[in-house]
Chains A and B, each alone.
Chain A
Amino acid sequence: MLVELRPYDLPDAVIFGGTGGGMLVWQPAETVIVLGQSNTPERSLITKNVLSDGIPVTKRPTGGEAVILTPEMAVITVAREFTEMARSKEFFMEVNGRILDVLSDLGVKNYGTRGISDITIGHRKILGSSMHRRENRLVYHAVLNLAGDPSIFGRYLRHPSREPDYRRYRPHAEFVTSLRNEGYNITFQDIAAILTHVPKEAS
């Protein structure tokens, strides 16, 4: 039995399909697996578990590897139109920098950025991000694990075909963590309240 991909109908689909700038911080209503553009269910997923547990699967417009969204996570989507050609890395750094400020404001310690655009606590990942570019418009998409159980990744996701150097072949459960696992009881509302008050030029 094959995994069927449903159309990308998550709340930020309107941002990917739209024009201009904007920001959406949202909380998934259900557990859903989101593939990157070049991922396939066969290569990226442990399809037997996905099918037996009835987890819906969709594919986002951005790159990167497959992720799992659960209600214990926050998804941050930021779009921006540039008047000149901006480098995606700089946009990653800008938005990630804003998120790091928020984490700092909320008392998180020992955070940093690793790989191309991951945010980590210690050497474990709490946020992964990816990007979509069409003409001069960039859309940043990130998933922050507030309290999701890291073991869920290993149940549904295969080891990715590409990984940052700092992962060092660690399985999902040893690579990913959550703010709760690290001792921070930060809610979606805490994150959204601060992030959505970003200065106008960064939204």
Chain B
Amino acid sequence: MRYIFKFPDIGEGLTEGIILEWYVDKGNAVKVGQPLVKMETDKVVADIPSPREGVIAARYGKVGETIHVGETLVELDIAGEAAAETSAKAAIEAVAQPTAMEVEPIEEMGAGVVGTLEVASNNAYLPASDEGTEAKPAASPAALRKALATPVARAMAREMNIDINQVTGTGPAGRVMKSDIQNFHAPAPSAKSPIARPASSAAAASGELVEIKPMTQMRKSIAKNMLRSKQSTAHMTLFEEPEVSALVEARARYREEYKKEDISLTYLPFIIKAVVAALKRHPELNSEMDFEKGNIIFKNYYNIGIAVSTEEGLVVPVIRDADKLTVKELSKAVAEIAVKARERKLTLDDMKDGTFTITNYGALGGWFGVPVINYPQVGILGIGRINQQPVVAAGEIKIGHVMPLSLSVDHRVVDGAEATEFLNDVAAGVADPLSLIMRQ
């Protein structure tokens, strides 16, 4: 029989631990109580003993990886019952006509070193959550099953806000693998299905005054990062409204030419160029403060983060070495990260090591804002929608295109004068796009 042993709560009430050392390999025979793996939570290092005698059929997670409570650590083939090696697969097939006997083959125990880990059932399949108040139709087998999955796949699904139980696994015994998550496309919600209806609609329909929804991992990360930024920096925001008719004209002039190469020319590459040029003149805005050591770290590279709104929340992928890229290359890079974000294919590598961030809420119709610094960076530039306004040029009033700019800086690092000059330089750059090329 295949026995699935999950990482138990080792007593602090924490939800995750780091693998420090594996004591066993696949194929090793283990006895009850024999240490399998050394895990560390925030405060405790613990050897996790085997709850059963058997042979290690699979182990999950590498040294240094984080495993969450409830995720599978090892699978054991229980001695004398090796014929059940395919039991997991058999159980998945059996779900089409589930009976109490048929869903038993996988013994999914949560018993750990410190009591019992709560699992909803000893069966391989768990009922889906019961959202909404209307009568629930018979759910499909896929909706009812609890997926077997690798820890990496579970973490990725959680990060991408994918219900892993909806994912078809291609690994051993139907296990959901990392690649399955990457390739997963959520089924379109069905208008006829109350389960597929957005929870808010269901709550409204039922007359509930409030609805409590658990935060996704991404929302938790956003909340933590925003709070950290506000608590750790001295925010100051400045505004500017450059007249950018020349930029509008330049984009219009080259847009069709770019389109022939299947490149969408937006204003963003010009703005990135203007920002990088200004960062070179004002290195304080391309730095970070190391308060502990009393240092300011000036960065001689220009990795520009672009805030992107996705269905799951805000992400900030980074265009690396933006100073080395042409307008055309920046256009491609912007398009690439937008596609990756939309298809939920961004990796941590895509989002780390930014030195300055641009947030373009103008694309959504926004005007001015007070952007929150992407800590530990010290500056973020908000771009509002370009709109036509009366402007004064050479003593005459004319209609011009105006781009609202909002710059937030960490006042601990950047003085008001420096921030003003930086913003003026950015404004001058987008007002005169030719200068961005000629002065590069």
Contact = CB atoms under 8 A, between A and B. Distances in A.
A112 interface: no
Contact of B292 (A61, A86, A117, A171): A171
Contacts of A154: 292-293
Interface stretch (B7-15, B69-77, B193-201): B7-15
A61 B20 CA distance: 11
A58 interface: no
Given A88-B114, A89-B11, A159-B292, A169 B232 contact: yes
Contacts of A38: 18, 20, 40, 64
A46 interface: yes
A87 interface: yes
Given A132-B44, A154-B292, A85 B114 contact: yes
A88 B47 contact: no
Interface residues of A, number: 33
A117 B43 contact: yes
A158 B231 contact: no
B30 to A, nearest CB: 14
Nearest to A64: B43
Nearest to A136: B113
B114 A130 contact: no
B191 to A, nearest CB: 43
Contacts of B293: 46, 154
A91 B11 CA distance: 9
A200 interface: no
B42 interface: yes
Contacts of B390: none
Given A89-B11, A133-B113, A63 B41 contact: yes
A36 B40 CA distance: 10
Interface residues of B, number: 29
Contacts of A6: none
Given A38-B18, A86-B11, A89-B12, A134 B35 contact: yes
Contact of B44 (A131, A158, A168): A131
Contacts of A63: 40-45
A177 interface: no
A154 B49 CA distance: 38
B45 to A, nearest CB: 4
B33 interface: yes
A131 B114 CA distance: 14
Interface in B15-37: 18, 20, 33, 35
Candidate in B10, B42, B49 with the most chain A CB atoms within 10 angstroms: B42
A135 B18 contact: no
Interface string A164-175: 000011011000
Interface in B350-375: none
B299 interface: no
Interface string A1-19: 0000000000000000000
Given A37-B20, A86-B11, A88-B114, A171 B291 contact: yes
Interface in A146-161: 154, 158-159
A38 B49 CA distance: 20
A87 B35 CA distance: 18
Contacts of A85: 113-115
Interface in A10-50: 36-38, 46
A201 interface: no
A116 interface: yes
A53 interface: no
A66 B38 CA distance: 19
28 contacts: A36-B40, A37-B20, A37-B40, A37-B45, A38-B20, A38-B64, A63-B41, A85-B114, A85-B115, A86-B114, A87-B11, A88-B11, A91-B11, A116-B12, A116-B14, A116-B42, A129-B43, A130-B45, A133-B46, A135-B33, A135-B49, A154-B292, A154-B293, A162-B42, A168-B231, A169-B228, A171-B291, A171-B292
Which 9 pairs from chain A and chain B are nearest by CB? A87-B11, A88-B11, A133-B46, A63-B45, A63-B40, A131-B44, A85-B114, A37-B45, A88-B44
Interface of A: 36-38, 46, 61-64, 85-92, 116-117, 129-135, 154, 158-159, 162, 168-169, 171-172
